[in-house]
């Protein structure tokens, strides 16, 4: 893993929806190394309050710059929203494993093998459909993934990608237009029914998955934990290979503090610790994740 | 001007006084991409127990004003796996390695050390007497009782000639007495402070934020208390004191040296800046050059009262 620590200059910090901003920063080293589903740790202030950096998935990454899409939720992101073009912030990244984009299209190996993770390379045959399910501020890494898919050689066509987006309300539906600009089919659901179907995006995704041959589907999801849990149930029910990107409280972001634990399946036993130790262990979301195979996670 | 930054802890000579604290440096490898690990004064490993430990369920960490709570629960691969999988990497770095060890009983402490005694490339042990995040089965935390401290330290003293550091916890009324107990029982040094037992509550759910309910408070918010405790302990004991507690930069480190610490350990700072230990070391050198101080020993314990 090639993570860099760098003071990055802000190129743009633009409000794109109520309480949501896109921050674009300059760093050829971090940008070039970034893969979809990976993240950066951003120090939102020079003081010690807030103390810890904040993790954000990539929204885009070029050879020169990268962007993140964040929601203002607390002290750190509030400070971030006030940062101006030309300011510089400490960034560490890219971190984490990212989505598995190690494909074999018609037998030809493409793209790089993901970092240390529970993921295995994907074998892709014929008319695969890549189903991207995003909720709220979990949508950005899926947009990065879609961009990446279209750049792969041999290419994955936009027709082979299906996106489902969910949000509380219309104004918070992120990246819908951006996906459409890539020529990708997008279906949306809002909890209040202000746009698209009323209800949860997972319902819509299930209706889609139900009628397909599971062997032709690959699902990628990022969003609130409740949504990921629902997606995992769907993937289990229909037997679809599914990767989910989780969000958990994190301190260091590179495997030192062991703070961002997530319960995953494990065959080894005889571990001493709370709640026994049978068939589970705690994986670190920052190094083994944030992307996990849905069937690996033991949801609480 | 050549600066003398050396320090001696037990029979280990440190080329500089900046170490990294247990549980904040992973297994070392995580930091190699951020700075040259050879430049460290030494490394204190993540605490190792006799058997592997899963650690606590999430949520394990929460940020608090100028600090954080953690309740990792000593997740570690156990002493056997540590020796086979982790120790070879530490050995290769070429700086003094102190293995942090912990047991639930004097016997468990002894067994961990016994296994490690057979292995080369270990310079000493830091006895973790003060992990706040594990259940002691109704028993007291070792660091909370001077009799327990002397029992563990004297038992381990009999098992090893390697440097022995006792890590003390701050949740006691008389830290000096605890340090004295460790010294009398044969510790070559004491390190302090571990984290404070603390708590955060989610006001909406009215539940503790951490699954373990309580966690250890670390970061710059605890530093002034750490400085006071080191100052107190340095008056009581003759063995070297390693200062720990919210050290974020060279200025903070210097406070600890002036209070009497012979060396320091950088912990939480590494989470916000993985290169913090190096920046702290460089800052100490800058200060010494500016103040025309040739040897670190001129600073240690130089507090004017």
Q: What is the DSSP letter of B82?
A: I
CA distance, residue B221 to nearest chain A CA (Å)? 9
Inspect the interface and report whether the beta carbons of B68 and A52 lie closer than 8 Å. yes
Q: Is the CB of residue B272 less than 8 Å away from at least one CB of chain A?
A: yes
Contact in structure between B153 and B128 (CB atoms under 8 Å): no
Q: What is the DSSP letter of B83?
A: I
pTM summary value: 0.93
* Residue A300 confidence (pLDDT): 80
Q: Is the CB of residue B301 less than 8 Å away from at least one CB of chain A?
A: no
The values of phi and psi at residue B190, to 5°, are -120, 145
Q: Which of helix, strand or coil describes residue B244?
A: strand
Contact in structure between A189 and A198 (CB atoms under 8 Å): yes
Instruction: Tell me how far the alpha carbon of residue A281 is from its chain's centroid.
Output: 22
Q: State the average pLDDT for chain B.
A: 95
CA angle A26, A88, A12 (to 5 degrees): 55
Range in A98-107, A265-274, B151-160 the model is least confident about: A265-274
Interface of B with A in 157-196 (CB under 8 A): none
B246 vs B267: CA distance, rounded Å: 7
Inspect the interface and report whether the beta carbons of B61 and A259 lie closer than 8 Å. yes
A221 vs A163: CA distance, rounded Å: 10
The residue count of chain B comes to 305
* Residue A110 confidence (pLDDT): 41
List Cβ neighbours of A57 (8 Å cut-off, separation of 6 or more): A37, A38, A39, A68, A140, A141, A144, A222, A245, A290
Q: Look up tokens 């494990």; give the residue.
A: A266
ipTM: 0.93
Inspect the interface and report whether the beta carbons of B33 and A3 lie closer than 8 Å. yes
B53 vs A220: CA distance, rounded Å: 32
Q: First vs last Cα of chain B: how many Å apart?
A: 30
For residue A124, what pLDDT band results from cuts at 50, 70 and 90?
low
Please give the residue of chain A at the shortest CA–CA distance from B62. A249
Residues of A with CB below 8 A from B51's CB? 270-272
- pLDDT greater than 80 at residue B207: yes
Q: Look up tokens 């890590």; give the residue.
A: B167
- pLDDT greater than 60 at residue A105: no
B57 vs B207: CA distance, rounded Å: 15
Known catalytic residues of B are: 131
Inspect the interface and report whether the beta carbons of A256 and B270 lie closer than 8 Å. yes
Residues of B with CB below 8 A from A3's CB? 33-34
Inspect the interface and report whether the beta carbons of A271 and B23 lie closer than 8 Å. no
Inspect the interface and report whether the beta carbons of A52 and B52 lie closer than 8 Å. no
Task: Name beta bridge partners: A92.
Answer: A5, A41
Please give the residue of chain A at the shortest CA–CA distance from B49. A272
- pLDDT greater than 80 at residue A94: yes
Q: Is the CB of residue B223 less than 8 Å away from at least one CB of chain A?
A: no
Range in A168-172, A281-285, B1-5, B44-48 the model is least confident about: B1-5
* Residue A118 confidence (pLDDT): 42
Rg (CA), chain A: 19
Residues of B with CB below 8 A from A5's CB? 34, 273-275
B145 vs B152: CA distance, rounded Å: 11
Q: What is the DSSP letter of A88?
A: E
What is the greatest pairwise CA distance in chain A? 54
* Tokens linked to B183: 């010294």
CA distance, residue A273 to nearest chain B CA (Å)? 5
Range in A98-112, A148-162, B75-89, B97-111 the model is least confident about: A98-112
Contact in structure between B242 and B96 (CB atoms under 8 Å): no
Please name the member of A48, A90, A282 whose beta carbon is closest to the beta carbon of B66.
A48
A228 vs B288: CA distance, rounded Å: 54
CA distance, residue A262 to nearest chain B CA (Å)? 7
Inspect the interface and report whether the beta carbons of A261 and B52 lie closer than 8 Å. no
């Amino acid at each position: 893993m090639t993570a860099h620590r760098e003071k990055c200059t802000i190129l743009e910090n633009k409000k794109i929806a109520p309480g949501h901003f896109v921050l674009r920063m300059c760093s050829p080293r971090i940008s070039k190394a970034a893969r979809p589903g990976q993240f950066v740790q951003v120090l939102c202030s020079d003081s010690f309050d807030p103390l810890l950096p904040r993790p954000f998935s990539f929204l885009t990454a070029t050879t020169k710059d990268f962007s993140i899409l964040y929601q203002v939720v607390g002290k750190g992101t509030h400070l971030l929203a006030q940062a101006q073009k030309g300011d510089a912030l400490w960034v560490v990244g890219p971190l984490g494993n990212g989505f598995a984009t190690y494909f074999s299209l018609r037998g030809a190996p493409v793209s790089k093998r993901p970092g240390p993770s529970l993921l295995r390379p994907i074998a892709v045959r014929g008319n695969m459909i890549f189903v991207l399910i995003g909720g709220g501020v979990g949508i950005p890494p899926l947009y990065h993934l879609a961009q990446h898919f279209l750049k792969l050689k041999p290419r994955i066509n936009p027709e082979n990608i299906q996106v489902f987006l969910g949000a509380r309300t219309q104004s918070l539906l992120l990246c819908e237009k951006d996906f459409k600009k890539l020529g990708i089919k997008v279906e949306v659901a809002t909890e209040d029914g202000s746009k698209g179907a009323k209800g949860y995006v997972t319902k819509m995704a299930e209706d889609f998955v139900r009628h397909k041959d599971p062997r032709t589907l690959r699902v990628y999801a990022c969003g609130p934990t409740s949504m990921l849990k629902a997606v995992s149930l769907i993937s289990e029910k229909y037997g679809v290979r599914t990767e989910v990107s989780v969000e958990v409280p994190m301190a260091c972001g590179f495997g030192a503090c062991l703070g961002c634990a997530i319960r995953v399946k494990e065959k080894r036993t005889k571990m001493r610790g709370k709640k026994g130790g049978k068939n589970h262990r705690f994986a670190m979301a920052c190094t083994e994740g944030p992307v996990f195979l849905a069937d690996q996670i033991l949801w609480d | 001007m050549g600066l003398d930054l050396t320090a001696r802890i037990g029979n280990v000579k440190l080329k500089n006084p900046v170490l990294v604290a247990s549980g904040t440096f992973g297994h070392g490898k995580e930091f190699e991409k951020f700075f040259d690990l050879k430049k460290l004064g030494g490394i204190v490993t993540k605490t190792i127990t006799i058997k592997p430990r899963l650690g606590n369920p999430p949520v394990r960490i929460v940020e608090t004003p100028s600090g954080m709570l953690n309740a990792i629960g000593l997740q570690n691969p156990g002493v056997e796996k540590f020796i086979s999988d982790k120790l070879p990497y530490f050995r290769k770095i070429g700086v003094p390695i102190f293995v942090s060890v912990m047991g639930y009983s004097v016997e468990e402490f002894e067994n961990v050390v016994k296994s490690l005694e057979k292995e080369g490339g270990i310079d000493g042990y830091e006895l973790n007497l003060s992990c706040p995040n594990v259940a002691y089965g109704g028993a007291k935390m070792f660091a909370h009782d001077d009799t327990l401290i002397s029992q563990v330290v004297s038992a381990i003293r009999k098992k090893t000639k390697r440097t022995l550091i006792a890590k003390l916890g701050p949740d006691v009324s008389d830290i000096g007495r605890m340090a004295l107990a460790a010294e009398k029982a044969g510790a070559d040094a004491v390190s302090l402070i571990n984290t404070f037992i603390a708590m955060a509550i989610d006001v909406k759910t009215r539940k503790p934020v951490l699954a373990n309910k309580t966690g250890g408070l670390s970061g710059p918010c605890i530093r002034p208390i750490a400085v006071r405790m080191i100052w107190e302990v340095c008056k009581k004991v003759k063995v070297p004191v390693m200062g720990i507690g919210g050290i974020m930069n060279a200025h903070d480190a210097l406070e600890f040296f002036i209070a009497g610490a012979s060396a320091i350990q950088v912990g939480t700072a590494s989470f916000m800046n993985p290169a913090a230990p190096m920046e702290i070391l460089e800052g100490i050198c800058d200060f010494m050059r500016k103040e025309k101080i040739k040897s670190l020993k001129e600073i240690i314990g130089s507090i004017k009262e």
